[in-house]
A and B are shown apart, each in its own frame.
Chain A
Amino acid sequence: MALIILRNIRKVYKTGNLEVAALINLTLNIEQGEFVAIIGQSGSGKTTLLDILGCLSHPTSGEYWLDGDNVHLLPDSQLTTIRNKKIGFIFQTFHLLPRKTALENVQLPMMYARASRAIQHDRASELLTMVGLKDRLYHYNNQLSGGQQQRVAIARALANRPALLLADEPTGNLDSQSGNDILTVFEQLHQQGQTIIIITHDPLIAQRAERCITLLDGKIMSDEMAHPSSATKG
């Protein structure tokens, strides 16, 4: 069974009397270990898809299965647990908490998972070491560069060993060098078997993934495997 199964997903937003369909009968499977880019222009529905994939909101209709869980039937409280245990979020604006060290930021998902303090500390420092921030454990956000902050965010996303890493324009606020470094980290994670979905409007970034899904007006326009040759171009 695929890690992610979307069946006839519809999402309709109501603004007053006006109904806007952001996603129209979207059907999609993503296997365990895939590195997928979802690409589309603004208004194509990619943010809505991110919210649904990330269990941040329910689809208006349709079915969503994540790692065997019947997400579309689960109440809010259980979605929280799924987000905590199975999904790692990476955002364009990093979303690190102010007045917290890199270590504390990475510990946060584990704190909500009620892990012991010792485990939180060990796992967080291990992850930060992995993303190359071994000597930045006790630095605050304002003492870190954008690229470093995004690495902290990646470490935080990985804290509870999620089934899915969900990145929303992860390089959008970074210069090309740092952005490239972040994508390299994603590629390494992919090689270790991590399922990754990157949502972006940038075709160049999408090329780094092994599969590229293009959205247009709430529907999948194309779904193709990237050429291995272009994957290394950057």
Chain B
Amino acid sequence: MSPFLAVVRRDLLIARRQGGGSMLAVAFFVVVAALFPFAVGADPATLRRVAPGVIWVSALLATLLSLDRLFQADFEDGSLDVLALSPQPLFFTVLAKVLAHWLVVGLPLVIASPLVGILLNLPIEAFPALVAATLIGTPALSLVGAIGAALTAGIRRGGVLVPLLVLPLYIPTLIFGVAATADPAHATEPLMLLGAVSLVSLVLAPLASAAALRLALE
């Protein structure tokens, strides 16, 4: 087994043993979205109009929920030292941890997104675009989030800083994700831009996270 797969397998095993990671994110996602009919009123036309925005903001918040522990747990128990001595560059170790985070948190959000769509009276023809957009966009949420998690890994109570650091960086994903979901007839262009955001994050986020983790190792 390559060190990359070893890191993915380890994080998935820990998530499974600790339990609740996926369920917590999905429950949070659904509960936050379900608050909106109470807040803006249950008028179907209003809900239909706000649904794409609400789904995406809820997904961003649900992703943030578990992000602060992504590297902090490894920093606190010394595992970061072991990860850093792996024969693969730290870039790939970060990427492996992000992949595990996406499998635990991002993918369940993709699967749960149609349910939230139903709750918010999203038109049926928008569902394929919604699933495609969350599938393409949620990796960017995990990737960009890793930067905030790495920067705060060595800071006591640094978890509270993660949303402040990360949420502004989520804006491009939010804009293109909502655009693809709100106008399913013209979803191709925003979906491609969403893919571009994810691809750029795929290269830059592990680079930035690895640099931040090196500082935490000092």
Answer yes or no: do A and B interact: no
Which B residues are within 8 Å of any A CB, using their own CB?
none
Which A residues are within 8 Å of any B CB, using their own CB?
none
